[in-house]
Structure 1
Amino acid sequence: MAASIFDNLKQQFNRGSILLKFIYINVAIFLLLRLTGVVFLLFNLDLSVILPYIEMPSDPYEFITHPWTLLTYMFVHYDVWHILFNMLWLYWFGQIFLMAFGEKQMVGLYLWGGIAGGLLYLLAYNLFPYFEGKQGLMCGASASIIAIVVATAFRMPDYKINLLFLGAISLKYIAIVTILIDLLSVTSANGGGHIAHLGGALLGYWFIVRWEKGKDLTAPLNRLIDRLVTACKPRPRIRVKRPSARANYRASARPETDMEYRARKKRESDEIDAILDKIKQSGYTSLTAEEKKRLFEAGKK
């Protein structure tokens, strides 16, 4: 029974989008930490002995000795409400993000947003006198998610979502209110978390600024990830296969020139922009089947 459930979850993970993969990873780590905490308590041990190795420290010396925490902290949650709220935000805004961008951009922005949030948290706690003597540890995916929220809001500012008791609200207003709350809360009990949110927000905004200039801020990070994944994969056996006439034809076809490539990419970008404008004006349901297919295919690139 347990093996069947595990196999089913594994299949869903492998078939799911990168958005679902992120949610699965966060939830799996949360459950593992909670179970580890229960086991530790049975032996009168404290889970805090392992937290410095996975959560982001505000102390520079601890960070230098545990630099990997800049990546691990953004997948760590221990409080039920913390992970529930974060995963709901990630799911809602992640789906909208994937209407305008691809899965690779989501991977890169999630990681860059978390890194920016962690570094701003470290900088603020060692720069402002207010935080003197308030060193601690930070965890959670909030900075990564805020980066996705802000990038989505700047790309599709007038896209509306329905909020309980408030009705249809444009993404730009949700982003503005979220940033204002974080700005007003930097001196609260969870000041470090709100500072990290601002770091993620700045990264999300920078991503859109560069994107509109034709630059993908996530591309270098995604290339690094691709190389690491390729290096870790076992090399397949090479089979020599006689090329067919069709293959020979494709091989002899003339490749695109730089001018042709740029022209094709501009046509594709203009098509997607036109579809996004239609979504802003009339909603996603107004799209034709062909337009939905075009948007879906662009999101996978």
Structure 2
Amino acid sequence: MSFINTLKNKYKTGTIIEKLIYLNIAIFLLTLLITVFQGLYKGEQNFLVEWFSLDNNLDAFLTKPWSIISYGFLHADFIHLIFNMITLYFIGNLFIQYFTEKQALTFYILGTLFGGFLYVISQNYFPLFEGINTTLVGASAGISAIFIGIATYMPHYQIKIRFIGFIKFWHLAAIWLAFDVVGLIGTNAGGSFSHLGGSLFGYLYVQQASNKKTNISTIFSSFFKRKEKPLKTVHKSAKRKQKTVKNSNQNQEKIDVILDKISKSGYDTLTKTEKEFLFKQGKR
């Protein structure tokens, strides 16, 4: 019981990166347990994987739209899990030194989302994948978003790698992306597309943040932003303004003369022109 409590305390007090690692491990152990029990009853496929993995088939995807996110918490095997979690631990902890934990979660979730969309689109667009049914699992798209995000933010940051020495972050990012580009026609082409989708999100987010546009909605709005027409500026002429003031003063002087004439001689002494002028001024 103390072991369970220790795990609970570690989860509660851990960073968002540690919580993501614990969650991924817990889900993997659950899927492993289900696989063992289904195997005893000759079950063909793990129902958890079946319901939460991302299908390349659009019809299948529409029956379980949540899979565009949930696939990022599933893993194919132990090696797949370990590799991803080690990468997430080192890259993620570096990330939260410069960004908030909330942003780290955002990168992971929306990187997974972008990766999932690019996977589905690519599998249904390119002739190479025609007639092939595949499913996608793994946290790599979310991790790619975090990795490329921090590499974009500080490309010249150096880390020391054993037997190699110091290497800049952008060099590692370039190697990471190169493997994904080469893998687009490999056996894990779908995974490579999802990695690139996550990387694209990480790059776009940091580019927006560097321009002081840290709201996530700007990432999406940048794709659909309508070009605004420039406002029409009306320039007022100083000469015209002076002319208007001058005319106003002249009219007032003329009104004063007419009113003075009325007070001395009466209204009937006004000429037709004076009466019309006074009438027009009274209507303004």
TM-score where L is the length of structure 1: 0.70
Asked if structure 1 preserves the Cα contact closer than 8 Å seen for 2:35 and 2:46, the reply is no
- Same amino acid, percent of matched pairs: 35
Q: What secondary structure does 2:166 align onto?
A: strand
Offset at 1:178? 0.6
In structure 2, what is the Cα distance between the partners aligned to 1:38 and 1:134? Answer: 28
2:108 corresponds to: 110
2:186 maps to 1:188: yes
Where 1:169 maps in the other structure, the secondary structure is: strand
2:175 aligned residue: 177
Q: Deviations over 1:194-218 (max 9, x none)?
A: 0100001100100111101112244
SS of equivalent to 1:100: coil
Whether the 8 Å CA contact 1:109–1:218 is kept in 2: the answer is no
CA distance in 2, matches of 1:99, 1:49: 39
Counterpart for residue 7 of structure 1: 5
In 2, the alpha carbon distance for the partners of 1:10 and 1:219 equals 34
Mapped partners of 2:168, 2:66: distance in 1: 37
- Deviates further, 47-56 or 70-79: 47-56
- Tell me the equivalent position of 2:89: 91
Q: 2:64 aligns with which of 66, 70, 74?
A: 66
Q: Which has the higher relative contact order, 1 or 2, with Cα contacts under 8 A spaced 6 or more apart?
A: 1
Taking a change above 3 Å as real, the CA distance of residues 56 and 216 of structure 1, as seen in their structure-2 partners, is same
Structure 1 portions without partners, runs of 5+:
222-301
| Distance 1:112-1:217 versus aligned 2 partners, 3 A rule | farther
The structural deviation recorded for 1:220 is 9.2
1:50, distance to aligned residue in structure 2 (A): 3.8
CA distance, structure 2, for counterparts of residue 164 and residue 32 of structure 1: 35
Shift of 1:35: 1.2
Give the distance between the partners of 1:172 and 1:199, measured in 2 at CA: 18
Task: Report how far residue 172 of structure 1 moved.
Answer: 0.5
Which runs of 5 or more structure 2 residues have no equivalent in the other structure? 220-284
TM-score by length of 2: 0.74
Deviations 1:38-84 (A, max 9, x none): 11112221334442311011000011110010111000013111011
Question: 2:71 touches 2:137 (CA, 8 Å); kept in 1?
Answer: yes
Matches within 5 A, 1:1-301: 3-218=1-216
Aligned-pair distance for 1:95? 1.2
Shift in alpha-carbon separation, 1:168–1:100, aligned structure 2, 3 A: same
Name the SS of the counterpart of 1:77 in structure 2: coil
Please say if residues 160 and 166 of structure 2, whose CA atoms lie closer than 8 Å, have aligned partners that are also in contact: yes
Displacement of 1:101: 0.4
SS state at 1:215 partner? coil
- For 1:24 and 1:50, the matched residues in 2 are separated by 18
Distance 2:33 2:138 in 1: 18
2:277 is matched with none
Query: RMSD in angstroms over aligned alpha carbons?
Result: 1.5
**Which one is further off, 19-28 or 209-218?**
209-218
Separation in structure 2 between the aligned mates of residue 87 and residue 53 of structure 1, nearest angstrom: 23
Q: Deviations over 1:278-298 (max 9, x none)?
A: xxxxxxxxxxxxxxxxxxxxx
2:93, 2:166 → 1: CA distance? 17
* Structure 2 residue identity aligned to 1:169: I
Letter in 2 for 1:215: K
